[in-house]
Every structure is written in C-alpha cells, then in structure tokens.
Amino acid sequence: MSQIDWSALFVGIIALTLSIVLGISMVIVSQQYYQVNKKWHKDQQKNFLVLNEERFRLEESLSVFDNLYYDRLQQFIQSGFFIQEQDLITDKRLEMYEEIAKLFNNKLADLLFKDKSSYEVLEQNLYPIPKYLNTAPQFQTYQTQVNFKLALLHEGDMLKLLQRIEFHNHKFTGLLNLQSCNLTSSTKKIDTNNISTPYINADCVWVWYLSTI
C-alpha cells in the first residue's frame, strides 16, 4: 500500500483556501466598488440637476431683460403699484377714496346728470393669485371694486368720460382698471332738442389694485 504524500495534500489545501479567500475578497471589493460607483453616479446626477436648475434660472433671468419684463416692472414701481410696507395699504386706500371723489365730483361733473348718478367703493380684499405662479409669501395683491352708476346724455359723453378717467389714472397709487361697463338706453324715444334728460345709463365696474413686495 502506497504512502500518502501529506505535504502535497497540505499544499493543495492551502492553495484551495487561498483561492477561496481571494475569491471572497474579490467579491467584497467588487461590491464595495459597485456601491462607491453607484453613490458617485447618484451624486453626479444630483449635481447635474442642480446645475440644470441654475441654468434654467439664468435663462429666466435673461429672458426678463430680453422680453422687457424688467422695464415693465420699473413702470409698475414708478406708478406705485408695488409698495414695500404693509402699513401703507390703509393710507393708499384713503388716497384712492379721495381721488375717486375728486374724479366723480369734479372731473366728470359736466358729463353726468348728478342727481341720477352715483358711485360706491366696496371693501378691500386679497386678489386670489393662482398657485401655479409660485409667488413669494410677501407678495400680496389687494383689490377694491368701485361701482359707478352713470346717467349721461349720449354715447359721445361716455367716450369722453372714459378718456378723462384714463387720463386721471396717473393720480392713483396703484392701478385703476376698467373691468366691465354695461350701457342701456333710458328711453325708447330720443328727442334731440331735449338735453335735460339722460338717454344713456352706464353701470361700470372699475377695480383698483395695489401689491406689496
């Protein structure tokens, strides 16, 4: 019976053990490399998204100037549409009351039948800004509706009235915008020799806007 060569067997066992250890080590290193590479890839994606977002913001900023938005913003600021202090809202509203009274009692007086004309300033409320515009919390727009019930002689006086209000608009802090105007005839028969009777009734709505930034 031949004798077993334990030294050769021992060397084989060692070689097998080393190969197993090396194999396991390679698997562990591969997994670690995969995790590191995966993390690096995610970080690069995040960096790309950040850079891409900054690029879009830059393009939007440039478009503000390209589309003259900046000039329009300056016009709004100069007209007083934007104010920076919330406490000034009440003061500006009182100024608006005074200008409406001047407009009705002085600027439009010769066009109206005053005993049959009137105006009403409603309560101020917040303008509902659509959520998709994603405006800053401090940006708020207030609106005040002003209803005019006007009695006029004819359509020509109505045109003059609108022109005078438009011309007087620069007196207002903020923007006074014509929202609607409904014209009706006060009589079926018109006597051109009678100028003491109004022939046109106008129910008009103007809205006054003011914003804080």
Per-residue pLDDT of the chain (213 residues; tens, 9 = 90+): 455 555 656 666 666 677 777 777 777 777 777 777 778 778 777 877 777 777 776 666 556 455 556 666 676 667 667 776 666 777 888 888 888 898 898 888 898 988 899 999 998 888 887 776 667 777 788 888 999 999 998 888 888 888 888 887 777 777 888 889 998 887 766 666 667 778 889 999 999 888 877
Helix, strand, coil in percent for the chain, rounding step 5: 55, 25, 25
Question: Is the domain of 118 the same as that of 203?
Answer: yes
Question: Is the domain of 124 the same as that of 54?
Answer: no
Q: Which domain holds residue 198?
A: 83-212
Question: Is the domain of 63 the same as that of 87?
Answer: no
Spatial distance between the Cα atoms of 143 and 60, rounded to a whole number of angstroms: 28
Question: Is the domain of 7 the same as that of 46?
Answer: yes
Question: Is the domain of 150 the same as that of 90?
Answer: yes
3-class SS at 94? helix
| Single pTM value for the model | 0.58
User: Is 132 a domain residue?
Assistant: yes
Nearest residue to 99 (alpha-carbon basis) of 165, 178, 149, 181: 165
Question: Is the domain of 101 the same as that of 206?
Answer: yes
Spatial distance between the Cα atoms of 182 and 197, rounded to a whole number of angstroms: 19
Spatial distance between the Cα atoms of 189 and 210, rounded to a whole number of angstroms: 43
Question: Is the domain of 147 the same as that of 185?
Answer: yes
Question: Is the domain of 30 the same as that of 134?
Answer: no
User: Is 73 a domain residue?
Assistant: no
